Amino acid sequence: MCGIVGGIGEGSSEAVNKYIDLLDRRGPDNRTIRTLSNGLTLGSTRLAMTDPLPRSNQPMVEASTGNMIVFNGEIYNYKVIRKDLSSAGIAFDTESDTEVLLKAISVLGTNVISTLEGMFSFVFFDKKRNILVMARDYLGKKPLYYFSDKNKFFFASHTEIINKYIKGLKLNLKSIKTYLELGYLIDPATMFEKVISVMPGEIVTIDLDSLVIIRSDSFIPSSILNSEDANISDTLKSALRERVEGHDKFAISLSGGVDSSILALESAKLGFNTQSYSMSWSHSDKDRYKHDSISAKKIASMLGFEHRTIEMPKPEKLDLILSEYVHAMGEPNSNPTGLSMMVLYSEIAKDGHRLVITGDGADEIFGGYERYKLANQLKVFPKFNSKVVKEIIERNEFNNRVLKSYLLSTVPHNSDFFWLNWHLIGRKNMIKKIINELPDSNPLIYGGELNMVYGCDKTGAAQLMFRDLKTWLPMESNRKLDRISMWHSIEARSPFQSERVIGSGYRNMNDVNFSKVNKEILKNAYPELKKLPILSSKYGFISPLGYWLRNNPELIEDSLENITKYLPFSRKELDLLSSSAKNFNFVQFKMLWSLIVLNRWLVINT
């Protein structure tokens, strides 16, 4: 696991050398920079996980061709690829997946990228053609950003480096609107104009002679497209083994729910040296914030794990953790779970762990969220494209769940609008009242290509799941997990996001037309779950946001006062929002929190 940075053109070499230390948390074990004869500079910081010897440090160069790579991530099927290359006469000097990736692209070209199983972002230099190839894994588990103009091309794992190098970057107002609507950003946009995120599942080729992007391709991993009709538990067990191979010990983020409990079960069966962790907010004003940790502790005890319950921050710690969280993310993200995760991963790091196994991704494959059940229930209503219905939905905040569900039932399930309205935290009319100067644009939603693969046009759950897998999971959940874990020099791995698990899971879901939701198929594969005290109604890794805000009036006041220095927010509307936590207005205090996080990002980055 690494942080990568590089560029060519005016001031790029100096910028790499000056700012590479900002990636030290992503790679504390080694820092190396190489400048080539053509002026290209590549840098890497390394968290040594596979073949930790110095021979596998990066940037890595192939002696016979002069090709070079900087790579952030893990390729879990690298031994299979290496065996095929060895059979073709290719020799290897290390035991690392980095060398396999370097030589595979050199020999087989970019077509090999769709065969990779793992999490990755990398930049490959082809010396003969004088081009760069950049790519990210299909679910965007590893970040990669770039800036390009006629004088320079620059990339990094973190936007902060690009922001420091390229002076005078303008705020991206479309991204601010997307953030206020969803609570996170949608690739390829970032908080700055002209700073671009490589898309999940994208391959970008740059001509270094002209500094022009000459090609952009997307891919779906072959393991998803051509999944075998394998037993789900066997496929998941294999994915878990791949992710812990070579590690004497690791941690499990145990929530007391189905997903993490399955991984804990498999770890116990396989005899792994595992320590489990859960979070508790015992000081909160609601008992439900303790239920997860109580259940997780019981499960850990039954499975024979050493277990720690991490007490989550009290309200007086909120301001300090917020600043660290925003630094780690590099962009605003209003999911309050992120602050609790900052504390969790800090404690895991203190115990000496470098690897954490998580259950992220199971819901998007096996229909775990409540919205999937509701979406399937709406199929009895006729579907039509009605501008009137859309306007009603867009202009109203519905506290009446039944009315909202009925109106959504008339919208085609394969439309982006249908997906968006299960995810919005800020609607158009609310945002316009708060700030009227933002562009009237809609965020890009991804995932429609999976509909073509599985052909579930009329199934509401399938349409939501496909878009969740390609939009929410990579751009909210995975982004948060990567930034927070790597801030603490920890690699977080998610077996449910194995390409083979996704393919197998979706094949099973497709066989029943995505009608069996609530993880029914997954639960049936693990009947032993019935013996564990798993919560039937689990809240997950959440945070008591209302409680935090009600006990931080100064943070609210200072944030709302300060944010108007950066953007023309309505002071009148901000004043109305300021009391929302005390009034228990959930819709409004989610927006209040979004503005507090945005203000902190603006203070740090502008």
Domains and CATH numbers, the chain: 2-219 (3.60.20.10), 228-365+472-531 (3.40.50.620), 544-606 (no CATH)
Mean pLDDT calculated for residue range 180-199: 97
Average pLDDT over the chain, rounded to whole?
A: 91
Q: With a cut of 80, say whether residue 389 has pLDDT above it.
A: no
Range of weakest confidence among 189-203, 257-271, 450-464: 450-464
Pairing status of strand 152-156 against strand 145-148: antiparallel
Give the per-residue pLDDT at 385.
Answer: 61
Average pLDDT over residues 374-387: 70
Q: What is the mean pLDDT of residues 551-570?
A: 96
Report H helices in 69-185. Answer: 78-87, 97-108, 159-165, 173-182
pLDDT score for 20: 97
- pLDDT exceeds 60 at position 397: no
Under the banding of pLDDT at 50, 70 and 90, the label for residue 314 is confident
Residue 399 pLDDT more than 70? no
pLDDT at 15: 97
d(CA 336, CA 541) in angstroms, rounded, equals 10
Helix (H, G, I), strand (E, B) or coil at 585: coil
Residue 395: the pLDDT is 65
Place of tokens 């104009």: 193
Residue 278 CA to residue 254 CA, distance in Å, equals 5
Q: Are strands 195-197 and 118-126 parallel, antiparallel or unpaired?
A: unpaired
Q: Which two tokens stand for residue 93?
A: 């000097």
Q: Which residues are CB-neighbours of 101 under 8 A, at least 6 positions away?
A: 69, 71, 75, 78, 116, 120, 122
Which pLDDT score is estimated for 428?
85
Q: How far apart are CA 337 and CA 340, in angstroms?
A: 5
pLDDT tens per residue, range 124-162: 999 999 999 999 999 999 999 999 999 999 999 999 999
Q: Is the dihedral of CA 150, 151, 154, 159 positive or negative?
A: negative
Rg over alpha carbons for the chain, rounded to the nearest Å, is: 24
The length of the chain, given as a count of residues: 606
As a whole number of angstroms, the distance between CA 78 and CA 65 comes to 21
* pTM of the predicted structure, to 2 decimals: 0.95
pLDDT tens for residues 155-182? 999 999 999 999 999 999 999 999 999 9
pLDDT, residue 86, reads 96
Note the pLDDT of residue 50.
82
Cα-based distances in Å from 474 to 33, 133, 282, 324, 470: 29, 21, 31, 22, 6
Are residues 408 and 421 in contact, defined by beta-carbon separation less than 8 angstroms?
yes
Mean pLDDT, to the nearest integer, of 556-584? Answer: 93
Q: What is the pLDDT of residues 67-115, one digit of tens each?
A: 999 999 999 999 999 999 999 999 999 999 999 999 999 999 999 999 9
pLDDT value for 398: 56
How far apart are alpha carbons 182 and 335 in whole angstroms?
10
Model confidence at 538: pLDDT above 70: no
DSSP of 359-401, one letter per residue? -TTHHHHHT-SHHHHHHHHGGGS-----HHHHHHHHT---S-H
Q: What is the mean pLDDT of residues 490-495?
A: 97
* pLDDT at 396 (0 to 100): 63
| pLDDT the model gives residue 384 | 61
Mean pLDDT value of segment 566-575: 96
Spatial separation of the C-alpha atoms in residues 85 and 72, rounded to whole Å: 22
Dist CA 406 CA 206 (whole Å): 48
Over 80: is that where the pLDDT of 457 sits? no
Contacts of 117 (CB under 8 A, 6+ apart): 75, 76, 77, 221, 223, 242, 498, 499, 500
Tokens describing residue 389: 């219905």
Among the listed residues 218, 137, 145, 136, the one whose alpha carbon sits nearest the alpha carbon of residue 185: 145
